[in-house]
Structure 1
Amino acid sequence: MARPQRTVVDACTRDGRGGSPTTVVIDDATLTDDERHAIASTAGTSHTAFVDTSAADAPAVRFFTTEGELTNCGHGIIAAQAALLHRSGAAQRHGHQRAGGRTFATTATRRPDGIEVWFDQGIIALQDGADAASSGIIAALGLTQDDVIADDLRIASPGTPRFLVPVHDRQALLSMRPDFARLAAECRRLGYLGCFTYALSPTARTATARMFAPAIGVDEDIANANSAGCLAAHLLDTSRHGDIKVDQGDTLGRPSTVLAAATRTRAGIAARIGGRARC
């Protein structure tokens, strides 16, 4: 069997640098899941996106980490769409992508500093996170109850739930030192993908964030685009605007930026997510 084509894409770059290195494997339809897991385990990146292009108008994409398969991955979608546009040689690509039983509308456009990708995240379910705060998960993050903004604790799910944890300021965020073993156990017990901790700017138009997901084999994520969409949904739901720019990755030396915009629909709050990528 021929070795599938692999590309490492820096997803969600900031000003043309940084971003989350993501392996994209094209035309993998003949691979077994064990082979996909083996590739993800040795790729040297936190996430690997496997793209089946047999349906050219809506390629199916699956995501793996060293721990196994994920239902979805926002920065993986950005990486996959950037790789497909790069491979085509076109200036722009409009289409759809299938992942986790859902179909996402996508747009990829060449820019001077990379490829800009936007995708429709879909409906985001939100619920109060006060009960989770009473568990050991705040302590596992290396925080105290005084560090967090209790009224804004939320559980958000675009398909997989994660805990949104606001802290009072950027300094508190950047100084966090989670207990990853304990956090992984807490997230598995509560059924969370991980914890998206963030500090809003005074205008609430920008945020600095850190995503911890040791339960899926990623102690700290350089960029987590789906969680940025969840934050936009939360902001809209709490009578604020639904547009946000989220910076991540600075503590890891890989600055990243994700844009997200939430809107109200008849079915609930939906979000659209954007980021730039470099192939």
Structure 2
Amino acid sequence: MDACTRGGRGGSPTAVVIDDATRTDDERRAVASTVRTSHTAFVDGSSGVLPGVRFFTAEGELRNCGHGTIAAQAVLLHRSGATEHHGHQRTGDRTVAVTATRRRDGIEVWFEQGVIALRDRTEPASGAIVAALGLTPGDVAADDLRVASPGTPRLLVRVRERRTLLAMRPDFARLAAECRRLGYLGCFAYALPPTAGPATARMFAPAIGVDEDIVNANSVGCLAAHLLDTAGTSDLDVHQGDALGRPSSVLATATRTRDGIAARIGGLVRHLGRVRSGVTPSP
């Protein structure tokens, strides 16, 4: 599947496997390398109305994956032959509400991300992270650095200029070391438009084996929560993938709840068909 397409193009190629109990985790890790996708979603084919979904990269298992959730739910709707589905997905100890709807240009999926934990950046080593990203202190809004977690923490880095964001060339080995030391999944660098319009973002996660993610939907939910907390903005459209030639779009909306700020994330999926072992998905 191409998850989170924009204008019928791009998106993140994501493998979705209807899983069974005989497959080992080593075999699951190998799938992403075999089909050359950054992430793979494994749907428990025996779990009935509440499907269990696990996510793997070549490096190992992830606690959750936003664009993987979107791709998995699109596959389930496609297999069912229905035009719309409202249900739930179980990943680890979390159950999230999901909606999938057939559209003329693909399958639109939304899921409830849940409450986002936000905390201000306090680590004096944040300067090392900025340097590892290939940025200077003047390139970033230092007061807008934020750690956000929907289950796994990542650093939100606001870059002042979109052109600087698109020109970034991180030192991935250094960035991976810093993220592992600080316990971050990765760094979500973003630039906001000067007026109304979509934001632009890039996600770097070499610590989990993904130097640059075409799409990182969970981080868009984190950004929506951060912007609601700091600027009162509740709806967000984030363009990603442009630096990799895969134009993508993730939508998010954030709301205040009794337990904190929660986000809902959406994207459009294009079905590519079955992938044979060793075959690269079509661009």
Same-fold call, TM > 0.5? Answer: yes
Partner of 2:277 in structure 1? none
Cα offset, 1:120, TM superposition: 0.1
1:155 aligns to 2:155 (yes or no): no
CA distance in 1, matches of 2:141, 2:23: 46
CA distance in 1, matches of 2:76, 2:124: 40
Secondary structure of 1:30's counterpart equals coil
Superposed CA offset, 1:125-155 (max 9, x none): 0001242564411100000111000111100
CA distance in 2, matches of 1:176, 1:136: 15
Q: Which residue among 28, 34, 52 is the counterpart of 1:36?
A: 28
CA distance in 2, matches of 1:244, 1:103: 24
Partner of 1:215 in structure 2? 207
CA distance in 1, matches of 2:12, 2:45: 23
Q: Does the 8 Å contact 1:130/1:150 carry over to 2?
A: no
CA distance in 2, matches of 1:113, 1:55: 29
Q: Residues 231 and 127 from structure 1, CA distance in 2 versus in 1: closer, same or farther, beyond 3 angstroms?
A: same
Letter in structure 2 aligned against 1:68: G
Partner of 1:57 in structure 2? 49
Cα offset, 1:33, TM superposition: 1.2
Superposed CA offset, 1:200-253 (max 9, x none): 012365210000000111110000000000000000111321211000001101
Higher strand share: 1
Larger mean Cα displacement after TM superposition, 37-46 or 119-128: 37-46
CA distance in 2, matches of 1:99, 1:55: 12
CA distance in 2, matches of 1:272, 1:126: 16
CA distance in 2, matches of 1:272, 1:132: 32
1:189 aligns to 2:181 (yes or no): yes
Superposed CA offset, 1:12-55 (max 9, x none): 00011100000000133331212212223322100000000322
Q: Does the 8 Å contact 1:205/1:243 carry over to 2?
A: no
Q: Does the 8 Å contact 1:130/1:154 carry over to 2?
A: no
1:17 aligns to 2:5 (yes or no): no
CA distance in 1, matches of 2:40, 2:47: 20
CA RMSD of aligned residues (A): 1.2
| Mapping 1:1-279, distance limit 5 Å | 9-131=1-123, 134-203=126-195, 206-279=198-271
CA distance in 2, matches of 1:219, 1:169: 22
Q: Does the 8 Å contact 2:127/2:137 carry over to 1?
A: no
Q: Residues 226 and 134 from structure 1, CA distance in 2 versus in 1: closer, same or farther, beyond 3 angstroms?
A: closer
Unaligned segments of structure 2, at least 5 residues? 272-283
CA distance in 2, matches of 1:234, 1:98: 25
CA distance in 2, matches of 1:32, 1:132: 41
TM (norm. structure 2) is: 0.93
TM (norm. structure 1) is: 0.94
CA distance in 1, matches of 2:4, 2:124: 29
Percent identity for Structure 1 against Structure 2: 75
Q: Does the 8 Å contact 1:155/1:164 carry over to 2?
A: yes
Q: Residues 32 and 81 from structure 1, CA distance in 2 versus in 1: closer, same or farther, beyond 3 angstroms?
A: same
Equivalences, count: 271
Secondary structure of 1:95's counterpart equals strand
Larger mean Cα displacement after TM superposition, 217-226 or 94-103: 94-103
Letter in structure 2 aligned against 1:188: R
CA distance in 2, matches of 1:274, 1:137: 29
Letter in structure 2 aligned against 1:90: A
Cα offset, 1:58, TM superposition: 1.3
Letter in structure 2 aligned against 1:96: H
Q: Does the 8 Å contact 2:113/2:150 carry over to 1?
A: yes
Cα offset, 1:117, TM superposition: 0.1
